[in-house]
Amino acid sequence: MKSVLNTYNRRNIQFVRGKGSYLYSSNGKKYLDFVQGIAVNSLGHCHPNLVKAINKQSKKLWHVSNVFKIQEQEKLATRLTKATFADFVAFQNSGAEATELAIKIARKYHYAKGHKNKNRILCIQNSFHGRTLATIFASNNKNSVEGFGPKVEGFDHFEFGDHKELEKKITKKTAAIMIETILGEGGIKVIPDVCLKGLRKLCDKKNILLILDEVQCGIGRTGKFFAFEYAGIKPDIVPIAKGIGGGFPLGACLMSKKVAKGMTPGSHGSTFGGNPLAMTVGNAVLETLLTKNFLKNVETKGNYFQNKLKLIQLMYPNVIEEVRGRGLLIGLKLCVSQPKFIELLLKEKLLVVKAADNVVRILPPLTVSNQEIDIAIEIIKKVCKSFK
Ligand SMILES: *Cc1c(COP(=O)(O)O)cnc(C)c1O
178: pLDDT strictly greater than 90: yes
In whole angstroms, give the CA distance from residue 63 to residue 73: 12
Rounded alpha-carbon distances, angstroms, from residue 14 to 28, 43, 309: 10, 21, 29
Q: Give backbone dihedrals phi and psi of 310, rounded to 5 degrees, phi first.
A: -65, -35
Domain boundaries 15-47+292-385, corresponding CATH code: 3.90.1150.10
| Tens digits of residue pLDDT in 3-42 | 999 999 999 999 999 999 999 999 999 999 999 999 999 9
| Tens digits of residue pLDDT in 322-381 | 999 999 999 999 999 999 999 999 999 999 999 999 999 999 999 999 999 999 999 999
CA–centroid distance for 178 within its chain: 14
Minimum-distance ligand 1 atom for the alpha carbon of 127: 13
Residue 235: how many CA atoms within 13 Å on its side-chain side? 27
CA dihedral sign of residues 217, 214, 54, 50 = positive
Q: Which residues contact 108 (CB under 8 A, 6 or more apart)?
A: 262, 263, 267
Minimum-distance ligand 1 atom for the alpha carbon of 131: 9
- Residue type present at position 349: K
- Tell the residue nearest (CA) to atom 15 of ligand 1: 216
* Banded model confidence at residue 388, pLDDT cuts 50, 70, 90: confident
Topology agreement, domain 15-47+292-385 and domain 49-289: no
User: 129 in ligand 1 pocket by Cβ < 6 Å?
Assistant: yes
In whole angstroms, give the CA distance from residue 187 to residue 321: 13
Q: What is residue 327's DSSP assignment?
A: T
| Tens digits of residue pLDDT in 208-227 | 999 999 999 999 999 999 99
Question: Other CB atoms closer than 10 Å to residue 265's CB: what's the count?
Answer: 6
Our CA angle for 312, 317, 320, nearest 5°, is: 70
For 157-219, where are the alpha helices, taking DSSP H only?
Answer: 163-169, 193-206
| Tens digits of residue pLDDT in 196-213 | 999 999 999 999 999 999
3-state helix, strand, coil in the chain (%, to 5): 40, 20, 40
% of the chain exceeding 90 in pLDDT: 99
Do 359 and 187 form a contact (C-beta atoms < 8 A)?
Answer: yes
Q: Where are the domains of the chain?
A: 15-47+292-385, 49-289
49-289 CATH choice from 3.40.640.10, 1.10.357.10, 1.10.3720.10, 2.60.40.10? 3.40.640.10
User: 99 in ligand 1 pocket by Cβ < 6 Å?
Assistant: yes
pLDDT of residue 39: 98
pLDDT of residue 97: 98
State yes or no: is 357 an active-site residue: no
- Tell the residue nearest (CA) to atom 5 of ligand 1: 95
CA–centroid distance for 112 within its chain: 30
Three-state DSSP state, 133: helix
User: 33 in ligand 1 pocket by Cβ < 6 Å?
Assistant: no
